[in-house]
A and B are shown apart, each in its own frame.
Chain A
Amino acid sequence: MTAMQKLLQLPVNAVNIVKTVQSQVQGQEEDKSPVLSPDSGQQTWYNALQPDELRHLRSGGSGGGGGGGGGGGDQDERAALEEGGGGGGSFQTQPLRHDDLKEMLDSNKDSLKLEAMKRIVAMIARGKNASDLFPAVVKNVACKNIEVKKLVYVYLVRYAEEQQDLALLSISTFQRGLKDPNQLIRASALRVLSSIRVTIIVPIMMLAIKEAASDMSPYVRKTAAHAIPKLYSLDPEQKDQLIEVIEKLLADKTTLVAGSVVMAFEEVCPERIDLIHKNYRKLCNLLIDVEEWGQVVIINMLTRYARTQFLNPNINESLLEEGSGGDKTFYGSDEDEDEDDDEKEKEKKAEAAAMAKRKPYVMDPDHRLLLRNTKPLLQSRNAAVVMAVAQLYFHLAPKAEVGVIAKALVRLLRSHSEVQFVVLQNVATMTIKRRGMFEPYLKSFYIRSTDPTQIKVLKLEVLTNLANETNISTILREFQTYIKSMDKDFVAATIQAIGRCATNIGEVRDTCLNGLVQLLSNRDELVVAESVVVIKKLLQMQPEKHSDIIKHMAKLTDNIQVPMARASILWLIGEYCEHVPKIAPDVLRKMAKSFTNEEDIVKLQIINLAAKLYLTNSKQTKLLTQYVLNLAKYDQNYDIRDRARFIRQLIVPTEKSGALSKYAKKLFLALKPAPVLESPFKDRDHFQLGSLSHLLNAKAGGYQELPDWPEAAPDPSVRNVEVPEWTKCSSREKRKEKKVEKPFYSDSEGESGPTESADSESDSATASDSRSGSEESGSGSESESEEDSESEEEEEEKKSKKKELKKPVQESESEQSSEEEDRKPEKKSKQQKSDSESESDEDEESESESSPSESEDSESEAEVKKKKKVAESKPPSKPVKKEKKEMSLLDLDDFEPAPSPQVTPVNTLLSNSLVTDLEGLSLSDSVLSPATIAPSSALKNYELLHRITGEGLTVEYCFSRQPFSPDANMVAVQLQFTNNSSSDTKSLHMEDVKLQSGMRVKEFPEIELLPAGETASAVMGIDFCDSTQAANFQLCTHTKKFFVSIQPPVGELMRTVFLTENEFKKEQGQLMGMNEITEKLTLDARCRNEHAIVQRVTAAANLSRVPCGSDKECRFAGRTVTSSSLVLVTVATREEGAAQLTVNCEKMVIGTMLVKDILLALTQ
């Protein structure tokens, strides 16, 4: 599968383009490259730094490609159209014409670019080398046209490995894409980035994956899971880090992610079965809602898991079942040495049984959960899913329950012949072990003349395996029709099948033998030969009874020409020459006559026959034997010469002959065990059914052995899911957490909520979890699915309206739930578990996580706590906290956003950021000196609208450095309106927002009235997309409109994060190289102490201090608001005010600008 893509791209290696031309072209390319190299995106990036007017001018001109002029473009277009009409068949043969493709790619018309890309992809598909176009293609990676972009991606993924250096040009575009507010763009950027196999970017990929793994959007997280195996195959040394990511993603509760992450798990670290413990129940419960491909992967993995964790459910039955009937009679019922084996087996089983008796088997509830939750998937339309469940049942279920899979597998037999082939292989293996299961479906395996031969043979195999005393007559009758088939290979297989039935079922042996003997008169030689071979095997069982058959066969030597059959007959006669004393020498006589014309295999048997006859009946055959041996002595084949020499020495007594010849008779006429005719599928079941290895009967690369059941079950408690770590902080927090999740739960479940929760409270842990889980997530009840569909539709809007939609519900529900909770505080953790497991919608999930901070009462609790702490130790930090507190009170407004004129930013970052905040607080108590906290009173005000231009209205703004509640990716901007005029200003609002692409704005609520002389404030959110481009908009009053723009200093594009010293070092270690910028500086005279440095840095940028062991260094950390890229700042002081500033940031532009800003702050 992996190769699907590769396959399509492979033929390109067949390069047939003239080398010289290529190098020439490349030479040109290199000349051009200085112009081309910065992708256009990068340019617009810097544009932001330039004044607006300039950009306007530029945008009027060329779009930023540096292509030919307008006239050239037109020409290109005409050419393209002509060629497009021509079908584009011939252009590949002329490498020179790549130039026009290049021109088309350089033009600024999307249609031309698209046409060029289409032709390039067509070239790739035809196996032509298009790699010399790489530079021209790669700069279109930032093209706005989606189709062009997609085709460029196709191209990039194909050629990036060959053109590593040039491929790097595209990386920044993807890095930017990774921060895009649109989840689909983030995902596709990650997808392509991770598909570019360039070793240098491994760290970038690693970082991108890590980041995406904690993305809000489950779709992006899914893509991150997909990227893991790609990175692993590129650089296996990343394994440890990747396992961390996998561990994190395994904990994800959304169905979208589950399948992909398990796939990554299977590819990267299938041996780390311990990672599954905690997620086992969740995976079981989500299973039914996972997309079908994911289901297959998960089921296969869980089969392996269950084999290591649970006890064999059949441990008690195995003795009874296998000892008394079933398989035993099937295999070599009356063979002596088989008996021995069986006895040994029996002993073993007896031991096992004894052990089992000592400890009666009780199925682990988790084991039961798995079986129950997979069963419905047998009804899947996807054959792979059905097969996966079937093998799971076969390997894991108690014998009594395995039967359910038969029906489903039989259904698959109606499918395409490839599917039939695979299914029949597996059925064949299953029928050996569990015959009873398929017996009712015997007729479904009847063969039609239209089936392909390999299907026929497999069906025959199954029929043979299913044969027993009761149905053998039907089966033999069926076989009789098959023997007449025109498909001779199939006939041969049928004869062998009859032979097997005869060996296995004693009652029909004679019937079969008679039937086969009749076949000996068949006109088709193949049929006769095959019959002879099978009869030979059958006769070996009871030779004394069947001397007439042997006689009959002896006659056949005149007619049958198939060497194998002749050899078989000769062997039979030799072996049982004592039963046919008269005929045997005659046969030898005939054979001696024709010896020279026989095939080698027949010759060997003639020698064999001669030797045996010589030993038993030397009187009659001495001369014949001599004759044959002499003929053989001069045979062309050295094997035959050898054999003759050997036999002569052995049987003809001479003076020299050693002790061995005394035993010649014993050697030749020893009692030979009858061959056991057994199924080629006998031992296949040591491969996991449904696997490629099973199909090939050979271990495929990457196959994971299915482990044997453990003797004693490992500790089942490892699967108990704990309360997520961060809720452990305090009991208070725990309750808070719970309280908020509950409303979410009932909210999404509609009216079924209360009953469900009651359910899970009363039931025992696993059972209830599983049931409620699957019902909820399954497409069970109607009401809920309606909910589903609604939420589907609203998904888009939700993001913006989230607050409005959810808050009122949450408020009321949370009250209710808190009551409930008081009643049953001890059920907390359990309930929470079931809650979280039931979540299927990704958005809701993230929301529920963030909701702790939204719900007001809990918030205030937290606030109280915070305040206490703050009050205890650090007065300078008070302002911040105060503000925060204020906000949490204002939070009320948030529930009814519409009428409220002021929305204040609320602390609604992701919950973990809240936690880090809290952690930060608690830690800073002990570690940091009071002076290190950013003095937020120093927030700088910027002017948005001057009093004079604003005709009396002054507007100032500052970056409040608070998380913006409606959207964590936005920077909160606090606006302060002052009405200096004498008249009231009405309906203050914003309009006509002009933004760079990717940027978004959340407008502040309209201020209806601003009386003269009054001041009002409002908060708006801007997602600057981690750039310092200005947001332009119009500020409108009831009478006037003002053009204004807000441009953020780079330091405001961050939010603080708390890191420990170790984390800091670790992260810094990953952001080396291009991502690190170092500057030497001389500190301003006034800021040579630590405190001053901290103050200045934190004023310049919204960073938080990282504790540091050395007093020569100050460290700060933050994350960019939109993309959450880490920003690490280190100021190391030296003597005499010298210092070194280091900024580590994945976003190089941000890093550079930040260095500038901080430098300025520290030196002035």
Chain B
Amino acid sequence: MGEHRRRSAQTTGKLFFLSVVQTEVPPLFVVEFLHRVADTFQDYFGECSETVIKDNVVIVYELLEEMLDNGFPLATESNVLMEMIRPPTILRSVVNTLTGGSNVGEKLPTGQLSIIPWRRAGVKYTNNEAYFDVIEEIDAIVDKSGTTVFAEIQGVVEACVKLSGMPDLTLSFMNPRLLDDVSFHPCVRFKRWEADRVLSFIPPDGNFRLMSYHVSSQNLVAIPVYVKQNISFLETGSCGRLEITIGPKQTMGKTVEALMVTIHMPKSVLSVNLTATQGSYTYDLTTKALIWTIGKLNPQKLPNLRGSLSMQSGVPKPEENPSINLDLKIQQLAISGLKVSRLDMYGEKYKPFKGVKYLTKAGKFQVRT
């Protein structure tokens, strides 16, 4: 039989998907597939947890049956799967119990045969809408003195397209040169991008990630906030002090929202006694995570958190100060300055409603102390 090797992919922190591999197969092939499975469950059941899978074991079986054939992925597009196996809804389960109907589509999955497997045929909507969310994340490492060690912007364009028929969309940007590295949903025509720097595609139905991109590293990354911190553990007396102040830096005139600070304290920190001028904090004794939820950043009155840390006595003081992880959101701003200029639709007659939203978030934003 040969050796059995294991490969697992973790999702949502709780469930592990395990696939046993007997022979040579590219590891990423397996990992990627497991992620697709998890995503599909997410699509079907709204969440991917143990209880949900137990409750829907039959659908899970049916899904896996369609997704894999003898270990080779078959249909992994959720659009195609939805056509074959309908996701459970409360209404449908009631109807099914009464009428004895089933969750398996009577229709045969024509999508699998088509050259654009990501789109269902015969889509109909009364309101035709297409929404695009440009979401950018700032990954940054800021050192003690406040200088940026490393910063980059990663972005995605998430789309929610509910258009009838077979629309052919073209999305163009004001400043596509900003984009350095891109990866696309299979629907995007790569040649068009290469030639004209526009996204031309026949969209899947529903929610999907149209593209993800990386903003070229030549551009300086605007860091929206600064953090003034002072964390110290005293050699004697088994206690420490902590003071953190956050202020706006380059926010392009927008408000910073949903500001949150997470600090993983050293193990020897037993408890904290702090006062926050804004928001509230929690300290989890088991994980040693100090979370300070601030909310909106008010430039007039900077949020501040200060107080003392009590340490386990008899344990040498921690070598290193814990680093500070930041979370924030800025609505209506793409921090790289990327702008969608227009969306055109071909192939269908109606006028769709179009909308673009921008959002900047902190990705892996870390301040070393």
Residues of A at under 8 Å CB distance from B? 1-8, 81, 84, 109-111, 114, 118, 121-122, 124-125, 145-148, 150-151, 153-154, 182-185, 191, 194-195, 217-219, 223, 226, 229-230, 255-256, 260, 263, 288-289, 291-293, 296, 300, 376, 379-384, 386-388, 407-408, 410-411, 414, 416-419, 422-423, 440, 443-444, 446, 448-450, 478, 481, 484-486, 522-524, 690-693, 695-696, 700-704, 775, 778-782, 785-786, 788-793, 795-796, 840-842
Contacts and interface: CB of A to CB of B under 8 A. Distances in A.
B83 to A, nearest CB: 12
B264 A701 contact: no
A692 B7 CA distance: 10
A146 B86 CA distance: 13
Contacts of B23: 2, 700-703
B253 interface: no
Contacts of A125: 57, 60-61
Given A256-B113, A785-B200, 9 more contacts: A125-B57, A146-B106, A153-B65, A183-B113, A416-B35, A419-B32, A448-B364, A448-B366, A789-B116
A3 B325 contact: no
B21 A1 contact: yes
Interface stretch (B68-76, B126-134, B242-250): B68-76
A379 B210 CA distance: 12
Interface in B105-161: 105-106, 108-110, 112-117, 121, 139, 141, 143, 149-150, 152, 154
Q: Which 6 A-B residue pairings sit nearest by Cβ, starting from the closest? A: A111-B100, A2-B71, A702-B23, A484-B320, A701-B2, A147-B104
B110 A387 contact: no
B22 A3 contact: yes
Contact of B319 (A110, A153, A524): A524
Contact of B18 (A7, A486, A696, A781): A7
A5 B116 contact: no
26 contacts: A7-B19, A121-B57, A121-B58, A147-B104, A154-B62, A184-B108, A195-B70, A293-B29, A387-B28, A407-B214, A414-B139, A423-B28, A443-B152, A446-B150, A449-B264, A486-B267, A486-B322, A523-B319, A691-B27, A692-B5, A695-B27, A778-B191, A781-B191, A785-B189, A788-B116, A792-B116
A296 B30 CA distance: 11
A795 B264 contact: no
A382 B347 contact: no
Given A381-B186, A690-B28, A701 B22 contact: yes
Contact of B28 (A414, A419, A449, A842): A419
Contacts of A414: 139, 154
A742 to B, nearest CB: 22
Given A419-B32, A793-B121, A381 B73 contact: no
A841 B325 CA distance: 51
B26 A381 contact: no
B21 A219 contact: no
B168 A450 contact: no
Given A153-B65, A219-B113, A484-B320, A296 B2 contact: no
B102 interface: yes
Contacts of B319: 484, 486, 522-524
A230 B319 CA distance: 58
B166 A793 contact: yes
Contact of B26 (A443, A522, A690, A696): A690
Contacts, number: 288
A796 B110 contact: yes
Contacts of A114: 100, 102
Contacts of B180: 407
Determine which residue in B33, B65, B214, B346 has the highest number of CB atoms from chain A within 10 A of its CB, and name it.
B65
Q: How large is the interface on B (under 10, 10 to 19, 20 to 34, 35 or more residues)?
A: 35 or more
Nearest to A184: B108
A372 to B, nearest CB: 12
A1086 B11 CA distance: 80
A395 to B, nearest CB: 14
A778 B190 contact: yes
B323 interface: yes
A743 B9 CA distance: 50
The secondary-structure label for the interface of chain A is helix
A1120 B65 CA distance: 32
Interface of B: 2-5, 7-10, 18-33, 35, 57-58, 60-62, 64-65, 68-74, 76, 97, 100, 102-106, 108-110, 112-117, 121, 139, 141, 143, 149-150, 152, 154, 166, 168, 180-192, 194, 200-202, 209, 212, 214, 217, 264, 266-267, 316, 318-320, 322-323, 325, 346-347, 364, 366, 368
Contact of B32 (A382, A781, A841): A382
Nearest to B66: A150
Given A184-B108, A449-B264, A484-B320, A7 B103 contact: no
B26 A691 contact: yes
A422 B191 CA distance: 29
A110 B100 CA distance: 8
A786 B21 contact: no
B192 A792 contact: no
A7 B115 contact: no
Given A2-B71, A779-B190, A795-B114, A789 B347 contact: yes
A1069 to B, nearest CB: 28
Contacts of B61: 8, 121, 124-125, 151, 154
Contacts of A693: 24
A692 B325 contact: no
A5 B62 CA distance: 11
B183 to A, nearest CB: 5
A184 B109 contact: yes
B152 A444 contact: yes
A260 B26 CA distance: 16
B348 to A, nearest CB: 10
A781 B196 CA distance: 11
A263 B72 CA distance: 8
B289 to A, nearest CB: 11
A404 to B, nearest CB: 10
B64 A293 contact: no
A417 B190 contact: no
A886 to B, nearest CB: 37
A5 B192 contact: no
Contacts of B76: 292-293
Given A293-B29, A450-B325, A486-B266, A5 B347 contact: no
B29 A1 contact: yes
A229 B70 contact: yes
A416 B9 contact: yes
A540 B185 CA distance: 55
A156 to B, nearest CB: 11
Contacts of B183: 379-381, 386, 408, 411
B27 A446 contact: no
Contacts of A522: 319
A785 B323 CA distance: 51
A418 B10 contact: yes
Contacts of A255: 115
A434 to B, nearest CB: 19
B90 to A, nearest CB: 15
A376 B109 CA distance: 29
Contacts of A485: 320
Contacts of A704: 24
Contacts of A217: 113
A381 B212 contact: yes
Contacts of A779: 187-192, 200-201
Given A121-B57, A786-B347, A383 B31 contact: yes
Nearest to A423: B28
Determine which residue in B74, B188, B368 has the highest number of CB atoms from chain A within 10 A of its CB, and name it.
B74
A430 to B, nearest CB: 15
Determine which residue in B29, B191, B266 has the highest number of CB atoms from chain A within 10 A of its CB, and name it.
B29
Contacts of B186: 292, 380-381
A701 B108 CA distance: 38
A5 B63 CA distance: 11
